[in-house]
Every structure is written in C-alpha cells, then in structure tokens.
C-alpha cells in the first residue's frame, strides 16, 4: 500500500473505533466500511477498492512469480560448444525459417524450423516465442562463419536439415518399367497375311541431271481467244497500203 493511502485507512479505523490490525484481521469490520464516504478529489473509488484488497491480503506481491534462469557454467565462448551438448537457452528472435536462441556464448544459435519439434511445424511462432526458456542440443559449430546450429527435438539429427534429392534419376538408376506382354506382329498372328514393308517415300525433291538443268525452258503455250469474238478477225485483217 502506498504511504499516501495511510491517512484513509486510519480514518476508516477511527470511524469503526478499532485499530488498523483489527481491520486487517477481521473481515466483518471491513464489510461495515462505506467506501463512498471516503471518496475525495484525490482518491477515487478504484483506489479505495485497491486499499480494501490490500487490507484483506497484507504483504501480497501482485507481480508474477520470478523464475530464475542461468546458462551452463562450463560454456562461455563458441569454442566451448561441442556437437551433442544439451544447453539451456532463451529465444531472442522468431523468424519464418526458425528461431534464434541465446545459449550464453555471445552468439545466438539457429534452431531451424525442421528442428523445432518432433512433429511437423507450419510456423515457428506456433511453437516458440521471444524470451521463452528452452532446452536445445548443439548440432554443428562453424567458428569461421560464427554460426551455431541447434535443435529442440527429442532425438536431434543433423541429417534432417539436408534438402531431399529432387534430381531425376538417370537410365542406370531408374528401375525397369513393366511394359506387359509384347504384342505379336501382324505377320505372326493367326490368320494374318505377311506383307512386305513398303520403302518409305522420301520428301526431298528429285535432283535434276546436268543436261536437264542446262536445257532451255519449254516455249510458253499460246493462249487463244480468251472467248474474244474479234480474235479471228484480227488474225486475217491487214491494214490498207
């Protein structure tokens, strides 16, 4: 209770002709208090309600219980990390591809989305959140690039982080396909006639010989008439001298 509220509590005890410890221990006395009587310009009804709650539970801490946390004692630098070590950590950031965890080596490690849980994880935010305390397993430590790979699975394995092989198999790797029984040819069927296969006709134009290429083109055909009634007249007509 704030010290500014002490005069109000003293006035309540005085009106009930009792002491402050009596108000704290006797609920019947607190039920007899008319809070509206103590409302002023500086103290409202919400403050008076909080005062009554404090009188009912003196010494109560409204804050949540503090959970102590400490990193592993034997781990201080990245060189102290070894694959397979299980360490406590705190989530510092959550992304679409995983979560970053501080394990006390001044460099956050990455828990890939495939290593967040034993089951399939659609979104990392469904499993972890910032400031969450977690237990992780070290998968890999890259001192040159300052990268730490971590896992939160019960049986972590570094092979799970590899991409599946999506390349097409070659002819040697591809299993033979079952094509079923082969159909007999037409000449081998019962009652079928055996015919010789015709040679395939070539689509290329026929090549000309040298003599054919050097021969003059044939004369053009004379077109007669075109159904012209004056054609024969002009063939016999001669101008006068």
Identify whether 9 is part of a domain.
yes
Instruction: Give the span between the Cα atoms of 148 and 138, in whole angstroms.
Output: 7
Last residue of a domain, one of 134, 160, 186: 160
| Domain containing residue 22: CATH number | 1.10.150.310
Residue with tokens 């510092």: 92
Residue predicted with more confidence, 98 or 69 = 98
pLDDT value, residue 58: 63
The answer to whether the CB of 152 falls within 8 A of the CB of 93 is no
Predicted local confidence at residue 174, as pLDDT: 57
| pLDDT at res. 31 | 83
How would residue 163 be classed by pLDDT, with cut points 50, 70 and 90? very low
Mean pLDDT of 89-93: 94
Domain identity same for 22 and 82:
no
Residue 49: give the domain boundaries. Answer: 3-56
Q: What is the mean pLDDT of residues 15-44?
A: 81
What's the rounded mean pLDDT across residues 46-67? 70
121: left (phi > 0), else alpha (psi -120 to 50), else beta?
beta
Q: CA separation (Å) from 170 to 173, 175, 178?
A: 5, 10, 17
Pairing of strands 133-142, 147-151: antiparallel
Cβ atoms within 10 A of the Cβ of 104, count? 17
Give me the DSSP letters along the chain: --GGGHHHHHHHHHHTTS-HHHHHH-HHHHHT--GGGG--SS--HHHHHHHHHHHHSTT---SPPPPP----TT--SGGG--TT-EEEEEEEEEETTEEEEE-SSSSPEEEEGGGS-SS--S-GGGT--TT-EEEEEEEEEETTTTEEEEE-SSS--GGGGSPP--SPP-TTTSPPP---SPPPPGGGSTTPPP-PPPPPPP-SPPPPPHHHHHSPPPPPPPP--TT-TTHHHHHH-----
In a domain, 105, yes or no: yes
What residues does 215 pair with on adjacent strands? Answer: none
Across the strands, what pairs with 141? 148
Domain count, the chain: 2
pLDDT digits (tens, 9 = 90+) for 125-137: 999 999 999 999 9
pLDDT at 18: 85
Instruction: Confirm whether 220 is domain-assigned.
Output: no
Write phi, then psi, for 98 (nearest 5 degrees).
Answer: 155, -160
**Same-domain pairing of 33 and 90:** no
Boundary-marking domain end, from 160, 177, 201: 160
Q: Is residue 173 part of a domain?
A: no
């Amino acid at each position: 209770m704030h010290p500014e509220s002490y005069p109000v509590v003293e006035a309540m005890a005085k009106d009930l002709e009792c002491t402050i410890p009596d108000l704290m221990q006797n609920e019947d006395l607190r039920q007899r208090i008319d809070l509206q009587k103590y409302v002023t310009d500086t103290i409202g009804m919400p403050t008076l309600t909080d005062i009554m709650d404090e009188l009912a539970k003196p010494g109560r801490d409204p804050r949540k219980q503090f959970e102590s946390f400490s990193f592993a004692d034997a781990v201080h630098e990245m060189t102290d990390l070894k694959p397979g070590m299980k360490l406590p950590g705190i989530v510092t950031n959550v992304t679409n591809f995983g979560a970053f965890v501080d394990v006390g080596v001044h460099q956050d490690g990455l828990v890939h989305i495939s290593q967040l849980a034993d089951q399939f994880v659609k979104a990392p935010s469904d499993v972890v959140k910032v400031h969450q305390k977690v237990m992780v397993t070290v998968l890999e430590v890259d001192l040159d690039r300052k990268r730490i790979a971590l896992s939160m699975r019960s049986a972590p394995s570094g092979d799970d982080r590899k991409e599946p092989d999506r390349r097409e198999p070659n002819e040697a790797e591809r299993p033979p396909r079952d094509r079923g029984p082969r159909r007999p040819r037409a000449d081998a069927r019962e009652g079928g006639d055996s015919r010789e296969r015709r040679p395939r006709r070539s689509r290329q134009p026929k090549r000309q010989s040298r003599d054919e290429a050097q021969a003059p083109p044939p004369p053009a055909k004379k077109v007669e008439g075109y159904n012209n009634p004056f054609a024969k007249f002009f063939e016999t007509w001669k101008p006068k001298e």
